[in-house]
């Protein structure tokens, strides 16, 4: 096992812990904006998982998927934030 294998393993462990804590915050988040931020963090973590897996396999076929998920996460976050802003504005 090379040092790079240990680095990949440590990266997957840290990303898994980050995903666990983010999902816990997503479930417990007291406000809608907290949940929006957590969903954005989850999409970033998914992109990170796929990027590390692409590096492990040394395969460039995943880059289209990476860009697609990143754009969907960004647009989804913008849409949810705009909805939350309008909802707060309507309430007064």
pLDDT digits (tens, 9 = 90+) for 42-89: 999 999 999 999 999 988 888 999 999 999 999 998 898 888 888 877
pLDDT value at position 32?
A: 81
Q: Long-range CB contacts (< 8 A, 24+ apart) of 8-11?
A: 8/52, 8/55, 8/56, 11/52
Domains: count for the chain: 1
Higher pLDDT, 37 or 11: 11
Which residue segment(s) compose the domain that 45 sits in? 3-91
Cβ–Cβ < 8 Å for 64, 73 = no
Cβ–Cβ < 8 Å for 19, 42 = yes
Nearest to 70 by CA among 31, 42, 33: 42
Asked if the model's pLDDT at residue 13 lies above 90, the reply is: yes
Distance CA(67)–CA(86), nearest Å, equals 29
């Amino acid at each position: 096992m090379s040092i790079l294998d240990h680095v990949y393993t440590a990266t997957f462990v840290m990303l898994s812990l980050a995903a666990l804590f983010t999902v816990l915050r997503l479930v417990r988040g007291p406000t809608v904006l907290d949940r929006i931020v957590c969903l954005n963090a989850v999409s970033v973590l998914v992109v990170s998982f796929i990027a590390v897996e692409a590096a492990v396999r040394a395969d460039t076929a995943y880059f289209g998927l990476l860009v697609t998920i990143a754009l969907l996460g960004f647009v989804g976050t913008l849409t949810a934030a705009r909805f939350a802003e309008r909802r707060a504005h309507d309430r007064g």
